[in-house]
Amino acid sequence: MTYYADHEHKVIDHPAEHTDSTAMILGVWLLLVIGAILNIGISFAGLGDKAIYIHMMISLVQLCLVAYYWMHLQRSDALTWLTALSAFFFMIILFALPLSDYLTRYRGGL
Amino acid sequence: MSASAGALKHHFEDIEQQRGAERLGMWMFLATEILFFGGIFLAYTIYRNMYSKDFADISGRLNVLVAGINTLLLLTSSLTMMFAIRAAQLGNRRQLMNCLLASAVMGAGFMGFKAYEYTQDYYEGLVPWASNFGKEKVHDPESKSHEEKTLNEQWEAKGVSANRIRLFMTFYFVMTAIHGLHLIIGIGCILVLWARAYLGWITPDRYVAVEVTSLYWHLVDAIWLFLMPLLYLAGPHHSLHF
């Protein structure tokens, strides 16, 4: 007998059914390590000011991998997605407004 | 392995709703963390755009080998956190404790390398508030000559401003120190989890405690994935060395 509201009758749950596959965990780790090695390798390629764009692209891909697979956005509900995307949305505002001033004040751009 | 939902609190309808609420709570905290770091990243971006030549010059002096090792340590510690969640869900207490301990040790290893780096920076005269800033005689990585000159002399010869270098190094220390502080808090949380696992308090129905901690740990890891290229790879490197 239960004394709490258990409308779905989930008194017995099965945490083992929610496990991530070992292949996914290791696969993401491998991609992240490859990204890190690529990032460091590019700094030796002598690309100058252009290198930062490639560095940030690699870091963004790494962030997406971590958030989607390791932080389980893959199987999260709409509210969690909304929270994660709202952080991203406010980051865009945070960067866009001041940079629209500074990047136009100092010609030459990033 | 199935388990009775003994972890269920009375104000939730079922265990999945409770787990969802716990994850959501952590995600909301992480959203504030992202914006907290966002402000520092923004300030760095503005100054880097203004003083890109000076920032590139000093960034080339930072120890990219140690940064690379630290990146590998953090990524691997996140990997062991993933296996810790899996072990908690499967009720494998021994593996859970080992994975948590491995994550904490790798996090501590990261901080150890950071301490080594900070010490090295001090001896090279790169600590912006130290009295020896720019005064130490060190080898110029861009020069083929073995003659050692003070950093101030090298910067003057290249037309690089010492004050702008000071600004970059302030960003470097502040950003890495705040990140390091987050890492230390993360290590503390993982050790608390380890103690709970040791006492047998993390049963399969309570695995979400490990998952929520891993969310924080992954974010700290993800922030480093941006800090590393922004600070260490802002300029060209010529060799890997300790």
pLDDT (tens digit per residue) in B191-204: 999 999 999 999 99
Least confident of B30-34, B93-97, B109-113, B131-135: B131-135
Q: How far apart are CA B70 and CA B220, in angstroms?
A: 13
Contact A74, B226 (CB under 8 A): no
Packing angle between helix A22-42 and helix A51-65, nearest 10 degrees? 170
Q: By percentage, how much of chain B surpasses pLDDT 90?
A: 75
* pLDDT reading at B242 higher than 80: no
B195 touches chain A (CB under 8 A): no
Locate all alpha helices (DSSP H) within B91-207, ordered by sequence: 93-123, 151-158, 162-198
Tokens of B85: 């969640």
Tokens 């509210």 appear where? A79
How far is CA B85 from each of CA A98, B132, B168, B178, rounded to the nearest angstrom? 40, 47, 39, 27
Tokens of B207: 């695995």
Tokens of B11: 């104000």
Confidence of residue A9 (pLDDT cuts 50, 70, 90): low
Distance from the A65 Cα atom to the nearest Cα atom in chain B, whole angstroms: 10
What pLDDT is recorded for position A10?
Answer: 53
Between B168 and B235, whose confidence is greater?
B168
Element (H, E) at B55: helix B52-59
SS3 content of chain A, % helix, strand, coil (to 5): 70, 0, 25
Which positions in chain B touch A43 (Cβ < 8 Å)?
A: 64, 229, 232-233, 235-237
Put simply, the chain B residues between 14 and 73 with a CB less than 8 A from any chain A CB are 14-16, 20, 23-24, 27-28, 30-31, 34-35, 38-39, 42, 45-46, 49-50, 52, 56, 64, 67-68, 71-72
* pLDDT reading at A5 higher than 80: no
Tokens 């608390």 appear where? B192
Distance from chain centroid for Cα B149 = 33
What pLDDT is recorded for position A106?
Answer: 58
What pLDDT is recorded for position B54?
Answer: 92
What pLDDT is recorded for position B199?
Answer: 96
- Return the number of other C-beta atoms located less than 10 Å from residue B221's C-beta: 29
Pairing of strands B3-4, A12-13: antiparallel
* pLDDT reading at B1 higher than 50: no
**Mean of per-residue pLDDT scores for chain B:** 92
Distance from chain centroid for Cα B235 = 20
What pLDDT is recorded for position B10?
Answer: 83
Contact B204, B3 (CB under 8 A): yes
Instruction: Give residue-wise pLDDT tens across range B152-164.
Output: 999 999 899 999 9
Distance from chain centroid for Cα B182 = 8
Which positions in chain B touch A5 (Cβ < 8 Å)?
A: 10, 12-13
* pLDDT reading at A110 higher than 70: no
Closest among B74, B36, B90 to B221, alpha carbons compared? B74
Instruction: Give residue-wise pLDDT tens across range A10-67.
Output: 556 778 787 999 999 999 999 999 999 999 999 888 888 889 999 999 999 999 999 9
Beta-bridge mates of residue B4: A12
Instruction: Give residue-wise pLDDT tens across range B128-141.
Output: 999 999 898 888 77
Distance from chain centroid for Cα A96 = 20
Which of A7-11, A33-37, A77-81, A104-108 holds the top average pLDDT? Answer: A33-37
Q: How far apart are CA A106 and CA B31, in angstroms?
A: 31
* pLDDT reading at A6 higher than 90: no
Q: Residues in chain B, how many?
A: 242
Interface pTM (ipTM) of the complex? 0.92
Residue of B nearest to A31 (CA): B75
* pLDDT reading at A2 higher than 70: no
A97 touches chain B (CB under 8 A): no
Q: What is the mean pLDDT of residues B33-50?
A: 95
Distance from the B13 Cα atom to the nearest Cα atom in chain A, whole angstroms: 5
Tokens 């866009």 appear where? A96
Which positions in chain A touch B219 (Cβ < 8 Å)?
A: 71
What pLDDT is recorded for position A4?
Answer: 45
Contact B166, B128 (CB under 8 A): yes
Contact B89, A15 (CB under 8 A): yes
